[in-house]
Amino acid sequence: MNTRKLMPSLQRILAYRRKKRVSFLLSKVDTKSRMKILDLGCGPDGRSFEDFAPADWQIVGVDVMAPEEIHIEHPGFTYVRQDAGDLSRFQDLEFDLLVSFGMLEHIIDEAKYRQVVSEIIRVAQQYIIVIPNKYALIEPHYGFPFFALFPHPIQAALVKIFNLSDARRDLKKDPDFIRKRCVWRSHAQCRKDFPGSRIYTLHTLDSIAIVKSL
C-alpha cells in the first residue's frame, strides 16, 4: 500500500503506529550510541525504521532496488544493492543489530529462506525481524480475517470475489500468485529457525517480531 496517497490525518496515525512499534522493539534489545545497524530489505523510504532511529547510528541498508529508487534521509544511512541471501561482504557479527521489517515472508523458496536465516544469524549480534502474524485477526497483506489460515483454494476464491489487495488481476494471470507472494510461518517454526530468540506479538496484532538480544 502506498500510504502517501492517504489523507494526511491517516498518514499521521500510521506514522505514530510505526514510531510506537520501533520504540517497543528497541526496548527489547541492548542499544547504545553510534551503533552499527544492518537494515535487511530496507525499502525505498525509511518509514519502517530509519525515520525513528537515533541520528548517530550508522545504518547500512540492503535491498535489491536500484540506488536511484532509495530515498532514505537518515544522516548515517548507506545503501548497498545486494541480495539478502548473500551477505558475504560483511564479517561475522559485524553489526550490533540487524533489523528487517516485512521482508522475510516474501522469500518463498525454502532453500533461499534457510540461506537468508543463516546469514542473519552470522552477521548480527542482535536482531529484530518483523513478519506477519499467521494467526492475525486481520491479515495485513489481504485485509481479511484469518486469511493465512485458509487453504489455498479458499484464499483464491476470496481474492477473486472481493478483489483483496487489488490482486484479482494478478491471480487471474498466475493461479499461484498467492503462494508466490507470501509465506506465513508459525511461531513454532520461527523459534526453531532462530534459536535463542523471543517472539513478540506487536500491539497491532497483525505482526510478530523475532527478537534476539545480547
To the question of pTM greater than 0.75 for the whole model, the response is yes
Confidence grade of residue 16 (pLDDT, cut at 50, 70, 90): confident
Our count of domains for the chain comes to: 2
Mean pLDDT calculated for residue range 138-161: 96
What's the confidence (pLDDT) of residue 14? 79
Residue 50 domain flag: yes
Examine the domain organization and report whether 97 and 173 are in the same domain. no
Q: CA-CA distance, 129 to 119, in Å (whole number)?
A: 13
Residue 77 domain flag: yes
Examine the domain organization and report whether 114 and 193 are in the same domain. yes
Residue 142 domain flag: no
**Across all residues in the chain, what is the average pLDDT?**
94
Examine the domain organization and report whether 38 and 117 are in the same domain. yes
Q: Does residue 106 have a pLDDT over 70? A: yes
What's the confidence (pLDDT) of residue 3? 46
Q: Please say whether the beta carbons of 52 and 72 come within 8 A.
A: no
Q: Does residue 149 have a pLDDT over 90? A: yes
Residue 30 domain flag: yes
Place of cell 502474524: 133
Place of cell 519502517: 48
How many CA atoms does the CB half-sphere of 117 hold within 13 Å? 19
Examine the domain organization and report whether 129 and 153 are in the same domain. no
Question: Coil, strand, or helix at residue 170?
Answer: helix
Residue range(s) defining the domain that contains residue 29? 3-134+183-212
What's the confidence (pLDDT) of residue 7? 67
Examine the domain organization and report whether 29 and 130 are in the same domain. yes
Grid coordinates given for 52: 525513528
- Do strands 36-40 and 97-101 pair parallel, antiparallel, or not at all (unpaired)? parallel
Confidence grade of residue 5 (pLDDT, cut at 50, 70, 90): low
Q: Does residue 129 have a pLDDT over 50? A: yes
Residue 140 domain flag: no
Examine the domain organization and report whether 68 and 169 are in the same domain. no
Examine the domain organization and report whether 107 and 167 are in the same domain. no
Examine the domain organization and report whether 67 and 33 are in the same domain. yes
Give me the percent of the chain exceeding a pLDDT of 90. Answer: 89
Q: Does residue 90 have a pLDDT over 80? A: yes
pLDDT per residue over 39-88, tens digit each?
A: 999 999 999 999 999 999 999 999 999 999 999 999 999 999 999 999 99
